């Protein structure tokens, strides 16, 4: 699997979450990339609106301050699934790879 992203300090946590979703939780590549994400710098936690409330409630109990952000880092990923190579571009980027200009309507 290859995964990368854009978004400054959010890149590492976003890419790690996609890899965990795919390799350890068994999500297909599209679901792994599109799942809501969380970023935790110190005790300030940034979460996307649809992120699991059970996790954010647990973090609040540990004195984390929760901020809801519309979106975190964009991630693009490629993985081999049996005899196929699959690619997924984050819906947060409009489904287009980083640096790729979106088509004009």
Rounded to two decimals, what is the model's pTM? 0.62
**Where along the chain do its domains lie?**
2-91
Q: What is the pLDDT of residues 11-57, one digit of tens each?
A: 888 899 999 999 999 999 999 999 988 877 666 788 888 889 998 99
Task: Report the sign of the C-alpha dihedral through residues 105, 48, 12, 41, in that order.
Answer: positive
Per-residue confidence (pLDDT) for residue 4, from 0 to 100: 87
DSSP, collapsed to helix, strand or coil, labels residue 24 as helix
Taking 3-state DSSP, the helix, strand and coil percentages for the chain, each rounded to the nearest 5, stand at 35, 30, 35
The domain made up of 2-91 has a fold known as 3.60.20
For 67-86, the pLDDT digits (tens) are 887 667 788 888 988 899 98
CA angle 19, 51, 97 (to 5 degrees): 50
Residues 6+ apart with CB under 8 A from 19: 1, 3, 32
């Amino acid at each position: 699997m290859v995964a990368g992203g854009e978004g400054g300090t959010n890149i590492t946590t976003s890419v790690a979450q996609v890899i965990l979703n795919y390799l350890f939780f068994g999500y297909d590549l599209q679901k792994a990339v599109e799942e809501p994400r969380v970023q935790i710098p110190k005790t300030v936690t940034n979460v996307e609106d649809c992120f699991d409330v059970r996790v954010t409630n647990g973090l609040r109990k540990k004195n984390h301050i929760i901020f809801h952000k519309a979106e975190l880092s964009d991630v693009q990923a490629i993985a081999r699934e049996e005899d196929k190579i699959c690619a997924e571009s984050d819906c947060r980027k409009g489904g287009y790879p980083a640096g790729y200009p979106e088509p004009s309507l």
